[in-house]
Amino acid sequence: MFIYDFEIFKYDWLVVFYNPDGEEDKQWLTIINDKEKLINFYNTYKNEIFVGFNSRNYDLPIWKCIMSNGNPYDLSRHIIEGEKKWFEFEGSDVFNQYSIYNYDVYLGLVDHGLKTLEAFMGINIEESGVSFDIDRQLTNEELNVTIKYCQHDVFSTYEVFKIRHEIFESYIGLLKEYNLSFEYLNKTRAQLSAKIIDAKRRKFSDDEFNITIVDTLVLKKYDYIRRWFMDKSNHSYDKSYFIPVAGVYHKLAWGGAHSFIGAYKKSNSSSPKFISRPIDVSGLLLNIDVASYYPNLIKRYQFMSRAVSNPKMFDDIIEKRLEYKKEKNPIATSLKIVLNATYGGMKDKFSKLYDPLMANNVSVNGQLLLIDLIEKIEDYCDILNTNTDGLIVKCKTVEYKNDIITKCDEWSNRTGMNLEIDEYNRLVQRDVNSYIAFTADGEIKAKGALKKTSVLDNNMAIVNKSIREYFINKIHPKDFILANNNFVDYMSVLKLKGKYKKIQHEQTGILVDLSEKIVRAFASTDTSDGQIGRSYVVETEDKQQLLFPIEENDCFYEDWRFNKFSNTSDKVFIDNNYILNKKIPIKLDKQWYIELVLEKLKNEWNVDLKL
C-alpha cells in the first residue's frame, strides 16, 4: 500500500509516495518532472493499493494524464478553477488505459478538506509557501519547500486513513464477497451498490410523482396527510406540510418527516412564528425504531429502482446481512453499505440506480406508515421525537406500555416492518436531531449536538463536553472547564470560503492580513490580541463609507468589508502548530468559554445556570 499526493505547477509537477510498511530508509519516494520514472514506478507497483485524499477527483486523473502524455497543469486548472469533472477534460478518454487501485479517504466526508482535518487532529496546519500561479520553473529552494509540504499532506492523509480504517475494511469486504476488482475501491458507496445489484442506467418518463400508496396503510384520523401527498398541486420538491400530529408539530416533505416540539408565538409586527422548545423529560420512555426501514420498504413493497433487472439480488443481500449479523461475521457491516446507499442512489441523477419515482414511493410510504403507527398508539403516549425511521414516546402510565407494544406488534404484522423497542428513563432534547437519552442501567444514546466529538470533527469540543457533563453528571460548566486542561478542546477552526478573500486578525489594534486560509483560534486574555474575521470586496459610490479602500475608478470605489467570525471572542490568539498534549497557555481565556456554554445552555436547552 502507498499513500500519495501530487503537486502541479505550470512548468513543474511532483508526486510523493509513502509506503508505511516499507523499510525505514525506503518508505518515501519523490518523483519530479520525470514521466518515465513515474511509468516505471507504476509498472512495478500497479498491483498495490494507492491511498489519497480527494484522489479520485484530482490526483488519480493527474497521474493518468501525465502517463498519457497530457498536460497536468491544464487538467489541474480545469478541475480547480473551472470547477469541472476530470472526465470532461479534452483527451481524458485515454486515461483509462492505466488501471490503478485507488482508495480515496475523502469518501463520505462533507465540507472537510485535508487542512481542516489537520486542524481537528491537532497537528501542524501546513499551507504551501510556494504559489501555484508561478509563471516559470520552480527554483531548487521552492521545490524543496513544496516537497516538504507535500510530504506533510501525505502524512496527514495516512493519519486520516488510520482513523477511518473501518470504512476501508468494509470496502475490501464487499469486493471479496462479490469477487470484484480492487478498481472498485475508487467508487462511491452508491456506485459500488449499483454494481453489486447490477443496475443499468435507464431513462424514465416524467412519472416521479405517480406515487403508489401501499395497501397495508390504514389511516383514518390522519388520512388527510395521505391526500396531501396525492394532491398534484403539492407535487414539487419545494412543498412541505407543517401540521400537528398527536399534539406535536410535524414537517412532512418529499425527503422525510421530522417532529418539532414548540408552539407559534404571536407578534404585533409580523405573522406568528414557530418557536422550538427544548425538553427534559423523565419517565417510562420507549424508543421505537424500524429496523433497516428503507431497505425493507424497498424489498417488501417492490420499490427497487427500475434500473435493476433482478430486484431479488437486493432481497438476497438483506437476508445475507441478517445471517452474517447472527454469525458476527464482519461482512455484515460491509453489506450495510449496499443497503443504505441504494435509496440515495435512486435520488441521485448521476447514479445508475437513479429512479425518482421509486425513491418517492419509499419516502412517502415511509412517512405515512409512521403516521399510521402514531395514530394507533397516540392514546397511550406522548410523542417526543419523530424522525425518518422511528419514534421516541413517553407512556402516559406504566400500564400503557403493554398496550403500546401490542399496537406495535399489530402494525409490524400488517406492514411487514420489524420494530426494535428500547426503554429510556430520561430524554434531554434540543430538537429532533440533537438529544441525549438515558437507559435505566446507565447507558447513553446521543445524537447531533450532544454526540461525542470525534478526532476528525471536534471544533470547540469544550462546548459539547461541558454540556454533556452537565446533563450526564450534573457538573457545572464552570467547574468542568476550570478542571479541563486539554488545549485541543478549546480550538475554534476557522476557514476562508465563499465570497471572502482573506482572514484578518486584529493585533495591537491593527487588522493584519493572514496568508492562511484555515486557522485555529483561541479566546485570549491578552489585551494586544483582538478580533478575528474575514473580509470581502464591495463596490460603493459613497466615499464616506470607505473603510479600507482598494481602488478608485470613475464611478465607484472598491473597499474591504470585515466580518468577525461568529462564536469567537473579541480577543483571540492563533496557534496552527502541533498542539496535541501542549500545555495550555496562561493567556487562554477560560472565563469566555464558561460564559459561552452558559449562554448556549440558556438559549438552546432552556437551562439557566448562574456562575
- From residue 182, alpha-carbon distances to 172, 194, 479, 492 in Å are 8, 16, 52, 39
C-alpha span between 52 and 60 (Å, rounded): 8
CB 502 within 8 A of CB 511: no
Alpha carbon dihedral 18, 21, 26, 27, in 10-degree steps, equals 20
C-alpha span between 384 and 390 (Å, rounded): 11
Strands 13-18 and 2-8: antiparallel
Question: What would the pLDDT profile of 466-508 be if each residue is shown by its tens digit?
Answer: 999 999 999 999 999 999 999 999 999 999 888 888 999 999 9
Confidence of residue 461 (pLDDT cuts 50, 70, 90): very high
C-alpha span between 252 and 401 (Å, rounded): 27
CA angle 66/34/31 to nearest 5° reads 100
Question: What would the pLDDT profile of 579-588 be if each residue is shown by its tens digit?
Answer: 999 999 999 9
CB 565 within 8 A of CB 532: yes
Mean pLDDT of the chain: 92
Q: What is the DSSP string of 76-99?
A: HHHHHTS---GGGSTTGGGGGGS-
CB 466 within 8 A of CB 479: no
pLDDT at site 23: 86
Q: What is the DSSP string of 270-321?
A: SS-EEEE--EEEEEEEEEEEETTHHHHHHHHTT---TTBS-THHHHHHHHHH
C-alpha span between 408 and 377 (Å, rounded): 8
Question: What would the pLDDT profile of 418-457 be if each residue is shown by its tens digit?
Answer: 999 999 999 999 999 999 999 988 899 999 999 999 999 8
Q: What is the DSSP string of 413-451?
A: HHH---EEEEEEEEEEEEETTEEEEE-TTS-EEEEGGGS
CB 321 within 8 A of CB 161: no
Q: Mean pLDDT, to the nearest integer, of 510-519?
A: 91
First-to-final CA distance of the chain: 54
CB 561 within 8 A of CB 538: yes
C-alpha span between 469 and 578 (Å, rounded): 27
Residues with Cβ within 8 Å of 162's Cβ and at least 6 positions away in sequence, in order, are none
Least confident piece of the model among 338-347, 467-476, 553-562: 553-562
